[in-house]
Amino acid sequence: MQRTFPSITVDIFLQPLVSIYRYALEPIAPFTWFDIKVCFLELVAAFRLCVTLRQIKETLHAKHEREALEAINLL
């Protein structure tokens, strides 16, 4: 037989997470002054994308430098 938790207990544990998520989806005040609806999650996602793209760029640049040095050494 499977035990189920009372819904009150689950609600108590999930309520803080739901509140944080709802707060993160609210528009940020300085952007709303200019009628731009940007939330905290969108800013975090944009920052994460920038970090990822920079890591890709650095990896490709290092690969290019390594291949260029190998080409010079082969000549």
Domain boundaries along the sequence of the chain: 7-74
**Is the CB of residue 37 less than 8 Å from the CB of residue 27?**
yes
pLDDT, tens only, 4-38: 656 666 678 888 899 999 999 999 998 888 998 99
Length of the chain: 75
Report the candidate in 39, 21, 19, 20 with the shortest Cα–Cα distance to residue 29: 39
Question: Against a cut of 0.85, is the pTM above it?
Answer: no
Which has the closest alpha carbon to 25: 8, 12, 9, 38?
38
pLDDT in tens, 45-61: 999 999 999 999 999 99
